[in-house]
Chain A
């Protein structure tokens, strides 16, 4: 089954404790991205990657890092999480320009 998976689905952590949210897709998609969804703000793009070792900032990259060492994986790293990063995070992938995106199920993060 074609899908985008994210882990963990739920995470509670404390300020400053590094964490990684994993994202994996099994569709051989070139393009992957991370979004956060906040009430009243919709979906905002954090980072995106157009292929292995190619990443770039989205609209709200501050406080986040990403890496793309393999085509299928695109982890989101919070080196020093802060409470304002409490949010619902979605990973998405697409084959190429012009194709629609497939979204993962989301990771709900609470930073205390």
Chain B
């Protein structure tokens, strides 16, 4: 049973517009959430994270929103750039755990 779900396998966006990638989770023990970005032929790289005590975390063009009551988080990229085209993985972790649970990923394509 998937504890972290990314229901959109792919997303296509025009350059300059907003990209919104969504992630849902079922485990109420998760208290730390991360987004990783993966380019072809490379390993995933950490992008941004959020603790369950917050509802928003921002880093430049990237903002992650957390809605604990809905067990939902989203990654917003504004403005989107062609270099943002990659697979984005949502991950979640329980307090005190080394082990994150990953979603299946969303492939983002940003068209020039």
Which A residues fall within an 8 A CB radius of B?
4, 31, 33, 35, 40-45, 48, 50, 58, 90, 92, 94, 96-98, 100-106
Contact = CB atoms under 8 A, between A and B. Distances in A.
Contact of B99 (A58, A96, A105): A58
Interface residues of B, number: 22
Given A48-B98, A97-B96, A100-B49, A41 B43 contact: no
B27 to A, nearest CB: 14
A100 B34 contact: yes
Interface in B85-111: 89, 96-100, 102-105
A25 to B, nearest CB: 12
B102 A42 contact: yes
B104 A41 contact: yes
A76 B104 CA distance: 23
A72 B13 CA distance: 41
